[in-house]
Structure 1
Amino acid sequence: MIHQLLRDRPTKLFVLFASFFVANALIAECIGGKLFSLERLFGLPVHTFTLFGESGLAYTLTAGVLLWPLEFVMTDIVNEYFGPRAVRRISYIAVGMISYAFFAFWVAMSVPADGWWLGSKSDQGIPNMQDAFVGIFGQGMWIIFASLVAFLVSQIVDVTVFHRIKRHTGEKHVWLRATGSTVVSQLVDSFIVLFIAFKIGNGWSWQRVLAICVVNYSYKFVIAIALTPLIYFMKSRIERFLGYETATKMKAAAMGI
């Protein structure tokens, strides 16, 4: 039976998607502690601006946003061929694995460091390796909690919007359901993270939360539009891999038809 299961193409596809989905989410969380300048990334001068009374704003983003858009692309692809139940299943697995990873980080940070290791990188400008390790892997609990809540809620929103659009458009307008669901869910994700981590956790003003939310979301909105061709490319490759008949049956089952 196991050999038959491993030869089944839809099963292979789901295992691949689920593995990438979980790994991508975990990596995005791990690298999320680094901030970078979007303007400097493209060699542009940094121009600050004011929004909702908050001055000095610029496109300073967490490195996690480099990977999170792919998570929403994968959500739409899994939703298309396997349905909302599959999306929820891999989302729960991803949250479980992220929670486990941060628990493992906490354990690693807590165990006593060996003496020689502490100064082993001092010639490279790192006087204390334990401080560096904690600085990289340690994140505020509010940020971790906010990120996980935002991830789960935005996934549910993405699934819901995706299927409502598809019920009205059928197989037409792939770009509308894929991009539309991502655009809405990314807005929810951006707001929840900032609200929990910084409004509740750090006492930010509503003006600051909304201003930074708009800045972050404007980036995510553009990326969601830019990645639309990737949806069509992946869809064509998947249907070639599965075969038109199998793909059609899977999409019908995903919609509960």
Structure 2
Amino acid sequence: MIQNILKDKPTKIFVIFTAFFVANALIAECIGTKIFSLEKLFGMQPSDFSLFGEKHLSISLTCGVLLWPLEFIMTDIVNEYYGPKAVRRISYTAIALIAYAFLMFYLAMGVPPAAFWYGTGVQDGIPDMSKAFNGIFGQGMWIIFGSLTAFLVSQIVDVTVFHKIKKVTGEKKVWLRATGSTLVSQLVDSFIVLFIAFKIGKGWSWQLVFAICLVNYAYKATMAIILTPVIYFVEGRIEKYLGHETAAKMKQAAMGIESE
């Protein structure tokens, strides 16, 4: 029985997607402590603009946003073939493992460091390795809570919008349900994480929250549109691997339609 399960093609795909989904989310959370300039990345000078009365803004993003668009692409593909229950399952798994990872980070930060370790980074310009370690892994609790809450809520929104659009379009217009659901869920994600982490946690003004939210959302929305062809490519590979008949049955089952 176990061998049959391991050889089952839909099961193999789901396991691969789940593993990559969780790993991608955890990496995004870990590298999210670094803020980078999008303008400098493309060799341009940082812009200077105003939004909602907040002046001297530029396009500065966390490195985590480099990976988050992939999460929503995977969400839409899993939604297409396995349905909302599968999306919720991998989302809950990702959240549980991210929470576990951060618990381990905090435990590691509290372990007494070896005396010789403090200065092992001096040659690289790091005078205190213990402070550097704690600085990288010691994200504020509000940021962690905000990020996980935003992730969970946005995933639920993505699944809901995706299926509402699919009920109208059927199997046609993959781009509409994939991009449409992502555009809505990314807006929710951007606002919730900033509201919890910085409005509640840091006392930011509403103007600053909305300004930074709009900047972050503009990037995420642009990436959602740019990466739409990736969904078609991946679905094409899945169809080829599974066979058209199996893929069609999976899509029907995902929509709660019993195949004949």
Question: With structure 1 as the length reference, what TM-score do the two structures score?
Answer: 0.99
SS at match of 2:215: helix
Q: Which residue does 2:231 correspond to in 1?
A: 231
Gaps of 5+ in 1: none
How many residue pairs match? The answer is: 257
Q: Which residue does 2:184 correspond to in 1?
A: 184
Q: Which residue does 1:66 correspond to in 2?
A: 66
Q: Which residue does 2:75 correspond to in 1?
A: 75
Distance apart, 1:205 and its partner CA: 0.7
Distance apart, 1:45 and its partner CA: 1.6
SS at match of 2:27: helix
Instruction: For 1:48 and 1:110, locate their aligned partners in 2 and report how far apart those are by CA, in whole Å.
Output: 41
Tell me the alpha carbon deviations over residues 46-87 of structure 1, each in whole angstroms, 9 at most, x when there is no partner.
Answer: 111000000111000000000000000000000000000000
Q: Which residue does 1:55 correspond to in 2?
A: 55
SS at match of 1:50: strand
SS at match of 2:56: strand
Distance apart, 1:123 and its partner CA: 1.5
Distance apart, 1:174 and its partner CA: 0.3
Tell me the alpha carbon deviations over residues 114-158 of structure 1, each in whole angstroms, 9 at most, x when there is no partner.
Answer: 010110111111000000000111100000000000000000000
Instruction: For 1:165 and 1:121, locate their aligned partners in 2 and report how far apart those are by CA, in whole Å.
Output: 53
> What residue identity is the alignment partner of 1:223?
M
Mapping of residues 23-42 of structure 1, within 5 Å: 23-42=23-42
SS at match of 2:101: helix
Mapping of residues 103-114 of structure 1, within 5 Å: 103-114=103-114
Instruction: For 1:245 and 1:99, locate their aligned partners in 2 and report how far apart those are by CA, in whole Å.
Output: 39
Distance apart, 1:11 and its partner CA: 0.3
User: Is structure 2 residue 242 aligned with structure 1 residue 242?
Assistant: yes
> What residue identity is the alignment partner of 1:118?
Y
Distance apart, 1:202 and its partner CA: 1.0
CA RMSD of aligned residues (A): 0.4
Tell me the alpha carbon deviations over residues 147-199 of structure 1, each in whole angstroms, 9 at most, x when there is no partner.
Answer: 00000000000000000000000001000000000000000000000001111
SS at match of 2:247: helix
Instruction: For 2:120 and 2:9, locate their aligned partners in 1 and report how far apart those are by CA, in whole Å.
Output: 49
Gaps of 5+ in 2: none
SS at match of 2:46: coil
Instruction: For 2:172 and 2:183, locate their aligned partners in 1 and report how far apart those are by CA, in whole Å.
Output: 19
Instruction: For 2:90 and 2:124, locate their aligned partners in 1 and report how far apart those are by CA, in whole Å.
Output: 41
Instruction: For 1:101 and 1:209, locate their aligned partners in 2 and report how far apart those are by CA, in whole Å.
Output: 28
Instruction: For 1:252 and 1:240, locate their aligned partners in 2 and report how far apart those are by CA, in whole Å.
Output: 17
> What residue identity is the alignment partner of 1:225?
I
Q: Which residue does 1:101 correspond to in 2?
A: 101
How many percent of aligned residue pairs carry the same amino acid? 70
> What residue identity is the alignment partner of 1:204?
W
**Runs of 4+ residues deviating >2 angstroms:** none
> What residue identity is the alignment partner of 1:126?
I
Question: With structure 2 as the length reference, what TM-score do the two structures score?
Answer: 0.98
Instruction: For 1:59 and 1:163, locate their aligned partners in 2 and report how far apart those are by CA, in whole Å.
Output: 33
Instruction: For 1:55 and 1:236, locate their aligned partners in 2 and report how far apart those are by CA, in whole Å.
Output: 46
